[in-house]
Amino acid sequence: MAIRIGIIGETQRECADGLALLDLLANHGVTVAVTQKPAQIAGDRWLARATTTTAPDQKVRG
Quote the CA–CA distance of 31 and 56 in Å, as a whole number. Answer: 8
Closest to 34 measured CA to CA, from 52, 19, 16, 50: 50
pLDDT at residue 45, rounded to an integer: 94
**pLDDT tens by residue, 8-60:** 999 999 999 999 999 898 888 889 999 999 999 988 899 999 999 876 555 55
Tell whether pTM > 0.85.
no
Q: Residue 55: its pLDDT value, please? A: 65
Q: Which string of DSSP letters, residue by residue, matches 5-23?
A: EEEEESSHHHHHHHHHHGG
Cα separation, 37 vs 48, whole angstroms: 5
Q: Looking at the predicted structure, is the pLDDT value of residue 4 above 90?
A: yes
Do 18 and 6 meet the contact criterion of CB atoms below 8 Å apart? no
Q: Is the pLDDT of residue 62 over 90?
A: no
Question: Rounded to an integer, what distance in angstroms lies between the CA atom of residue 34 and that of residue 11?
Answer: 17
